[in-house]
Amino acid sequence: MVDQLSPLTPVLRSGRYARDDHSVGVTLAEVQPGSIVQLSAWPGQQAGILAAIREVMGLFVPGGAGSGVATETKSAFGFAPGKFLVSDQEEGFSVAFADAVGPDAGTVTDLSHGRTVIRIAGPKAEWVLAKFFAVDFSEPALAVGSGISTVHHDIFAQIQRTGADQFDVYVFRSFARSFWNSLRHASEEVGYEVE
Amino acid sequence: MIITCPFCGPRDSSEFVYREEGGRTRPDPASTDQAAWNAYVYERVNTAGDHEEIWQHSGGCRSHLRVLRNTVTHKILDVTLARETGKAEKPA
């Protein structure tokens, strides 16, 4: 298997960048899924896409607005009507989905090389993300597993809540380094640790 | 200004793009009626009050929306997915 290259390599420096009182409010890390795939249903064909996600990944996505599910290694969430973003630590899922999603059901787009996934976790994760996105990140508004699509200064981003205080942010690969640096600066206030 | 997208929920208006006046019907593409095309392309009602509009949630789910907005107060009165009606008119 070919090693994955990350656009964050020149700037990702592991370590603890704590506040004066040695506390850290968030942990930043890059998640490197082997597969990131966008699934889009033709009108009225959403059930076929949800069935394909169950078949290929074993994940049950309820299908309501923004609903999703996340495990240690897999995730899936709806980010638009009839559109879903799925990721897995294993490679090759776009091929599996191309077999499972017929041409009558919708389309499969492999985004594995087009997105970088940055994980922000910790008690201040909501606080730091709120500096970037005009979105309600509280748990009643964005439940665990749920995802959204939004923008940061007109740059598209998709965000999934993968834990009570953990979020995975999907950004364009070419934008990832800039976003990472912005995220570090925004996290300085609360102290942060880079994994 | 906050627009409540039927899919994404309440979002800042900067995530949305105004597309056009709603409730308009394009002439038959085969038509050569210049007056009808002129009216469709150039003439606008310019309502002062409740105004039907087509917006796109370009910074979110990218859905086209039918928005009822008051052009005097900028209050958003109603938002539905444009695809639900197939045109800009509010479903009955």
Sheet of A35-41: strand order equals A68-70, A74-80, A83-88, A35-41, A106-110
Q: What is the pLDDT of residue A49?
A: 94
Q: Would you say residue B91 lies in a domain?
A: no
> Using one digit for the tens of pLDDT, what is the confidence trace for B9-41?
999 999 999 998 988 888 999 999 999 999 999
Substitution target in A135, A156, A170 with the highest count of B β-carbons within 10 Å is A135
pLDDT at B87: 53
Q: What is the mean pLDDT of residues A179-187?
A: 96
- Shared domain check, A119 and A104: no
At A40, is the pLDDT very low, low, confident or very high (cuts 50, 70, 90)? very high
Interface-testing mutation among A109, A138, A142, A148, with chain B (most B C-beta atoms within 10 A): A148
Categorize the per-residue pLDDT at A64 as very low, low, confident or very high, splitting at 50, 70 and 90: confident
- Same domain (yes/no): A188, A145: yes
Are residues A131 and A92 part of one domain? no
**Among A145, A125, A111, CA closest to A33:** A111
Question: Above 80 in pLDDT, residue B43?
Answer: yes
Number of domains in chain B: 1
Q: Which residue of chain B has the CA closest to A82?
A: B61
Please state which of the ranges A177-181, A184-188, B22-26 shows the lowest mean pLDDT.
B22-26
ipTM: 0.86
- pTM equals 0.90
| A 111-150 → B contacts, CB under 8 A | 134-136, 141, 148-150
Nearest to B60 among A136, A141, A149 (CB): A149
pLDDT at A178 over 70: yes
Give residue B88's pLDDT band: very low, low, confident or very high (50, 70, 90): very low
pLDDT value at residue B7: 93
Q: Which domain holds residue A144?
A: 15-32+114-194
Q: What is the CATH number of the domain that holds B21?
A: 3.30.2270.10
